[in-house]
Homo-oligomer: A and B are copies of this chain.
Amino acid sequence: MQHTPEPYSRRVYYYETDNMGIVHHANYIRWMEEARMDFMRKVGYVYGDMEAEGIIMPVTGVSCKYIHSMHFDDVFSITVKMTEFSGVRLSLSYRIFSITDGTLAAEGESSHCFLEAKRRFPVNLKKYCVGFYEKFLELSRNDD
Contact = CB atoms under 8 A, between A and B. Distances in A.
Given A58-B66, A61-B63, A48 B34 contact: no
Identical chains bound together, number: 4
Contacts of A58: 20, 22, 25, 66, 69
Interface in A21-66: 21-22, 24-27, 29-30, 33-34, 37, 46-48, 51, 56, 58-66
Given A48-B72, A61-B65, A69-B120, 8 more contacts: A14-B47, A15-B26, A15-B30, A20-B117, A47-B73, A48-B73, A58-B69, A59-B66
A62 to B, nearest CB: 5
Given A60-B66, A64-B62, A15 B13 contact: no
Nearest to A36: B14
B29 A26 contact: yes
A98 B29 CA distance: 22
A51 B19 contact: yes
Contacts of A51: 19
Interface of A: 10, 13-15, 17-22, 24-27, 29-30, 33-34, 37, 46-48, 51, 56, 58-66, 69, 71-73, 117, 120
